[in-house]
Amino acid sequence: MKKFVIFGGGHGLMRLAEGIKIYEKLSGEYFEKTFILPVTDSGGSTGELRKLTNFRIIPVGDFRKIIITLAKYSNENVYKFTSIFNERFFDHKIGNLILLKLIEKYGAVNAFNILRELFGIKEKIFPVCERGDLTLYARTIDDQIIEGEWNIENKPHSKIVEVWIEPEAEAEYYVIDELENADLIIFSPGSLYGSVISCILYKNLLEKLKEIDIPKIVFLNLKRDIETTGLDNILELCSVYEKYIDVDLYIANNKVISEDHYRPMYGVDKILYFDLVDENNCKYHDPKKIAKYFGKILDHLNI
């Protein structure tokens, strides 16, 4: 069975994960999958819970989302149960509160394993780092320093030229170990800096990603947003990833239905184009379309 290690978070990771699950169901070809998630989220319920725990616990929102997505393919009763994870108890998502207490009592990896076993989730789910005190920073082209993932994603600013995490930390040993025997490394769509780049800003992980000779593919975002200010075309978007990793293949959308959508730039060998947009919500990838073309992506890579 081929093994995929998938980096990312948020809605982008959810939709990619669902797309792969649909492909598996339709094709009968199954994969061993490990999801590695970022730990710098500073907004919403997750951000407030980080403050309440004095930044001792990793942010839990992205983990709630991927657990709900994967549980959907376990059985109907499990999905009904996990669907309440997105409902609120006063100011907080119920799933966030459950995850917070489990992590507090058993540690992050054990907490996720408890839920995986309980919900029949076969995929591994890991935080890239178990430290709860990490903050994402960005520097813009006009030398403005932006503190916090939420501010980077939501407050207007000029082009970002540098991002980093404080305090300095290393990726967990089990993240490095997961890469050793992988057949494919995938970077999900999602918040460019908040969900994807922040997931690899660890010296030992960057070194490992450069060292291993394993295909690496990136699902590019569909459209420009505050975070990608100054990245005006597909090639400029790709250039951000090239600062950190040697990408073998970019997967991009070729159906433009919004002014903010990146337009195809054909003739670049490393970019494959497909119609990937969710026409009911053009900000996101359509999982069914990911499933439709996933086999072609694997064939292109000879996997």
Distances (CA, A) of 5 to 93, 131, 174, 180, 181: 28, 21, 12, 10, 10
Contact 41, 136 (CB under 8 A): no
Tokens describing residue 4:
């995929």
Residue 49 has a pLDDT of 84
pLDDT digits (tens, 9 = 90+) for 51-82: 888 888 999 999 999 999 999 998 888 888 88
pLDDT of 45 strictly over 90: no
Q: What is the mean pLDDT of the chain?
A: 95
Predicted structure pTM score: 0.96
Q: Which residues pair with 138 in a beta bridge?
A: 146, 163
pLDDT digits (tens, 9 = 90+) for 249-285: 999 999 999 899 999 999 899 999 999 999 999 999 9
Contact 297, 282 (CB under 8 A): no
* CATH label of the domain that carries residue 170: 3.40.50.10680
pLDDT digits (tens, 9 = 90+) for 1-26: 999 999 999 999 999 999 999 999 99
pLDDT digits (tens, 9 = 90+) for 168-182: 999 999 999 999 999
How many domains is the chain built from? 1
* C-alpha span between 158 and 173 (Å, rounded): 36
Domain ranges, residue 101: 3-300
pLDDT digits (tens, 9 = 90+) for 104-136: 999 999 999 999 999 999 999 999 999 999 999
Distances (CA, A) of 181 to 9, 36, 136, 249, 254: 22, 15, 30, 20, 33
The dihedral formed by the CA atoms of 163, 167, 171 and 173, expressed in degrees to the nearest 10: 170
